[in-house]
Structure 1
Amino acid sequence: MSPAKFYLQLLLWCVLYFSLGYISLFLDDPLSRVSFVWFPAGLAVAAFLLTPRRFWLPLFLGLFIVRTLLDVTMRHSLETSLVHSVISLGNDFAIAWLVRRFRRPADLLHNMLVWLSATVVFSAIAAAAGAGWVLYRHNIVFIQTLWIWWSANVVGTILLTTIVMGLFWKSEVLALRRCIAGCGLWLLLCISAAYVFSQPFGDAHGEALLFSLACIPVMVMIAIPIVSGNRLGALAFLSFSVIVIYFSWHRLGPLFIPGLQSGEPLLLAQCYLSGTALLLNFVYVLKRNVPGMVSSYYLIPQTGRLTWDQTSVTSLTPHVLKINHVDELLERLSPEDQKRMRTRWETIVHGGTVKDTFPFLLRLSPTTKVQLLETRLIGLAQPEGVVIIGSWSPEIHNRAIARAAREA
């Protein structure tokens, strides 16, 4: 990523951060003045994950300035604004750093669990610090403020990170009918969600029916990324979240139960949306771990001929089918990756075993590289000698994230 491109993206991140923060600060607890949901948390985490590490310092400073101006705009003192900015951005940075530090190539489930664990733990630390500061400055209930701050960060991180990363996820090529089907499901999602969550509270029978109907938008939401890819799924989830939060804030829909205090229906809406977001992430994991996501090759070391398995077609298949000789493959790798790839092949040819995985960059074009992981490498004895069978899987499906990992 060039500096000019980064600073253009930084401007976009700052504008989005301020806009989401402005909305979040209107959804606050009137007593503690802490927002019930902090949307910028997820945006900041996604921004750090999508940005090369060499740009993390200016990204942090840019978001820090915006966060401080945001609090000042909402009539907080400069001292409180600076403290809130340190706590908030420190929390977001820590989550992104832990995810990048402990991520495992080709293990999306592990990476997602690291992200969730970091979100829960660091948000608790940030909530304790933030609630402590508010308690020092104002006469508030510490436990209640702690809970609101923690839930606001966790929900904001889960919702916005899911949406932003889904938008940046490289989509597969879709047929027209799948796009039309996805748009139809999106329309059905908006209509069903608007109907269910715009209904006022009625009798117990009607409320039970509304609770049942609330499952329909979730099922439609889960179907959209399966049918039409993650980007349309992310846009649909954004629409879904806006509808649910808007009506819940106005005390409508099945999540408004008589007796709840101000803001508590919104907390129920957060749980509802967070559960849907987690289901979406598990759908992404399952989509990535189906057998068809693996590309396998058959190498004859004596001749250097490469043959690719065409029974499991992936987004990588059209590119690798153009590579028919080992020299054509090696010239697409860096010198270090070439050396290690040859060493692995030589080990197999001489009767050894290779059990470790091998991450590497494959150049698809002069300007595009993709991060891959060789997950299996075995030798098969043949009359003409040992032949090699290997399997590759996409380590990172998104080109933007792959480039960020390469430049870090």
Structure 2
Amino acid sequence: MELPHFCPHRQIIFRESNVKSNNLAAPLLWAALYFVFGFVSHALNGSFVATGYIWLPAGITVSALLLTPTARWFPLLVLLFAAQILLGWLEHRELWRMALFCLDEIGVAAVAVWLVRRAPFPMEGLFFVRGLLMVGVGASIVSGLFGAAWFTATQGTPFWPTLRVWALSDLVGILIMTPVLASWSQFRATRSGGIARTEFLLGLASFIAVIATAYLAFDSELDRIIFDIDFSTTYLPLFFIALVALLWGGRGGALSVAVLSLMAFVYNSLGRGPFVELVRLNSSNALLELQIYLAVASLLSLLISALKTTREQLHEDVARWKSNVELALTVSRQLVYSIDPDKKTIAWSGDVQSLLGLPPDTLRTLDNVLKLVHPLDQHRLRQRWLEEESGDSDDVRDDMPFRLLLADGKIIAAIDMSRSLRDPDGSLVMVAGTWHFNGADLAQGRSEK
């Protein structure tokens, strides 16, 4: 039976349809998340006049814009607008009011993200935290200004309280949702590597402790019964969030903040938790107090994970640089060393095992290295390293040919190119140099072995 032959034009059309479907799948998913978290935010807010105290879709919008290339923003923005219009229709809001709300919330966020993406720094590490704060603070304040001015002009609501609640709800929604979505959207399962087992178990214990201490702070009387405290237990989840961020990185820290936020919002909507009790003593709003608390938790996790990521990247860069230097030294048949005259120790860079056939640990002391040198050259090399002191500049010192006598009796010629670093009083501080080997001698030695 013959396989069917496909027309090249049909294959091109099929590929184009796949690309279009893939380009629409992500915007549809973002719009669905926007609608779901918008519905949840309205449920947690309850009834309100101008603006609610929780608005998690602000984080969905910023995450979608940050993770989507600018060339693909049009279908994304259209679907986000549609999700907000549908959400307003379910809430029995006027269509034109929802359109203005979309322009204010989604449009301002798009402009803020576009401006930050034009900045000449990468969106990773501490730069990501800075970019996220620039987007969050800028978009929330500008959007709040337009919203508060509109409600003040049309409904006579106070300007400053409306601006404060609007901006804080957007900012906290961005700080809670964006780190979770930005970090986990780039997750790839790997067969090897990743977190060490001990760090994973300690991180898991810390993550469980976040849930346990959140329950203790928001829905338990044990803290009051055992320790005779109430509000202070709200600091315990922050401590364990910091541990999770240190052990699991940004993804774990963002996930722990999201879990804490979910538990806190649910308990607060049920009239439980220290913030509800705090409001009974003051005239503030429980959701507003809670949002400040969650914003601090999110910023704590972001800063710790960013510092951890920056440090890991620095270590990776150093390891890569060291590997490149080691490879270059090996290919050029060289060893680089530095001598500590006080401790009589030598630190080597390069492939000692490949060039000399000896483990690097056997050449850590000056005496062991000099034993490897030919007896007729030992005194000259020791004097060059430790005793030589001339009035001339050390930069013009000539290179020194010498010989190495290996354990198998093979003699290898080498050239020492070294310089000494001295204090103003003439005392020796350090000796640094290079050994360069003859390729023919090394090749002959390998062939004899």
Residue matched to 1:57: 74
Please tell me whether residue 252 in structure 1 is matched to residue 272 in structure 2: yes
Q: Secondary structure at the match of 2:122?
A: coil
| Partners of 1:33 and 1:78 in 2: CA distance | 16
| Partners of 2:273 and 2:98 in 1: CA distance | 35
Residue 6 to residue 261, structure 1, CA distance change in 2 (3 Å): farther
Matches within 5 A, 1:224-243: 224-243=244-263
Residue matched to 2:205: 184
| Partners of 1:30 and 1:232 in 2: CA distance | 34
Residue matched to 1:44: 61
Residue 383 to residue 2, structure 1, CA distance change in 2 (3 Å): farther
Q: Secondary structure at the match of 1:38?
A: coil
| Partners of 2:264 and 2:434 in 1: CA distance | 62
| Partners of 2:157 and 2:226 in 1: CA distance | 38
Q: Secondary structure at the match of 1:209?
A: coil
Residue matched to 1:404: none
Residue 381 to residue 91, structure 1, CA distance change in 2 (3 Å): farther
Q: Which has the larger radius of gyration?
A: 2
Q: 1:53-83: CA deviations, max 9, x gaps?
A: 2111111111111112111211111111111
Please tell me whether residue 167 in structure 1 is matched to residue 184 in structure 2: yes
Residue 75 to residue 289, structure 1, CA distance change in 2 (3 Å): same
Amino acid paired to 2:33: L
Q: 1:152-211: CA deviations, max 9, x gaps?
A: 1111111111221232344761234433332222222111101211247x99x9998222
| Partners of 1:130 and 1:143 in 2: CA distance | 11
Residue matched to 2:122: 105
Q: Which protein has the bigger helix share?
A: 2
1:34 touches 1:145 (CA, 8 Å); kept in 2?
Answer: yes
| Partners of 1:285 and 1:64 in 2: CA distance | 32
| Partners of 2:48 and 2:177 in 1: CA distance | 26
2:176 touches 2:254 (CA, 8 Å); kept in 1?
Answer: no
Residue matched to 1:123: 140
Q: Percent identity?
A: 24
Residue 140 to residue 52, structure 1, CA distance change in 2 (3 Å): same
Q: Give the Å deviation of 1:226.
A: 1.8
Please tell me whether residue 144 in structure 1 is matched to residue 161 in structure 2: yes
Q: Give the Å deviation of 1:37.
A: 1.6
**Count of aligned positions:** 310
1:207 touches 1:254 (CA, 8 Å); kept in 2?
Answer: no
Q: 1:17-39: CA deviations, max 9, x gaps?
A: 00101111234474524111210
Residue 80 to residue 259, structure 1, CA distance change in 2 (3 Å): farther
Gaps of 5+ in 2: 1-17, 336-431, 437-449
Q: Give the Å deviation of 1:123.
A: 1.5
Q: Give the Å deviation of 1:300.
A: 4.0
Amino acid paired to 1:80: R
- Among candidates 275, 280, 285, match of residue 306 of structure 2: 285
Matches within 5 A, 1:190-205: 190-199=211-220
Q: Secondary structure at the match of 1:251?
A: coil
Residue 31 to residue 207, structure 1, CA distance change in 2 (3 Å): farther
| Partners of 2:226 and 2:300 in 1: CA distance | 27
Per the normalisation by structure 2, the TM-score is 0.62
Residue 228 to residue 16, structure 1, CA distance change in 2 (3 Å): same
Residue 214 to residue 192, structure 1, CA distance change in 2 (3 Å): same
Q: Give the Å deviation of 1:141.
A: 2.1
Residue 137 to residue 27, structure 1, CA distance change in 2 (3 Å): farther
Amino acid paired to 1:293: E
Q: Give the Å deviation of 1:304.
A: 8.8
Residue 26 to residue 133, structure 1, CA distance change in 2 (3 Å): farther
Gaps of 5+ in 1: 308-379, 385-408
Q: 1:84-135: CA deviations, max 9, x gaps?
A: 0111101221232122111513873244223213321232111111122223
Residue matched to 1:154: 171
Per the normalisation by structure 1, the TM-score is 0.68
| Partners of 1:170 and 1:35 in 2: CA distance | 33
Residue matched to 1:324: none
Residue matched to 1:376: none
| Partners of 1:111 and 1:164 in 2: CA distance | 13
Residue 3 to residue 124, structure 1, CA distance change in 2 (3 Å): same
Matches within 5 A, 1:196-345: 196-199=217-220, 209-256=229-276, 257=278, 258-261=280-283, 264-290=285-311, 291-294=314-317, 295-296=320-321, 297-298=324-325, 300=328
| Partners of 2:65 and 2:299 in 1: CA distance | 20
Residue 107 to residue 191, structure 1, CA distance change in 2 (3 Å): closer
